[in-house]
Amino acid sequence: MFNMDWFHSLNKPFLAPPDSVFMPVWTILYIMIILSFIFFIKGGMNEGKKRPLIFFIIQMLLNLAWMPVFFGLKSILGALIIIIFMWIFLVLTIITFFRHSKLASFLLIPYLLWISFAFYLNLGYFVMN
């Protein structure tokens, strides 16, 4: 999909995992994200679920935007800005999901941890390149 030559030419931050780690990790995380959403909407939607749903949609759109910005536009700074906002909206999602479904909220914790690690990596790529 993207020409990875540029990425492989970058100086890597300490703790950068091999490329083979990302596919299985994201597969598991997306399953957990989907399950979280299912548990959140279980029982139907109401006015009280509107704000958490908006936070969820925003963080997912930011999630989808990160890869084209980092790999497509080769904008490490742009991707760093996106990941900061993604982290903020993910925290807001977790907090607001908790009021409706503790399980939905807890299922997003590994995603938050991974995004925190991804922030470290993105910041490392920015500083080192």
49-72 confidence digits (pLDDT tens):
999 999 999 999 999 999 999 999
Cα–Cα distance, 117 to 8 (Å, whole number): 19
Name the nearest CA neighbour of 74 among 109, 117, 122, 26: 122
pLDDT value, residue 3: 79
Confidence of residue 75 (pLDDT cuts 50, 70, 90): very high
Write down the domain spans for the chain. Answer: 33-40+49-128
pLDDT value, residue 43: 76
116, 87 contact by CB (below 8 A): yes
Tens of pLDDT, residue by residue over 31-44, are 999 999 999 999 78
Q: pTM, whole model, 2 decimals?
A: 0.94
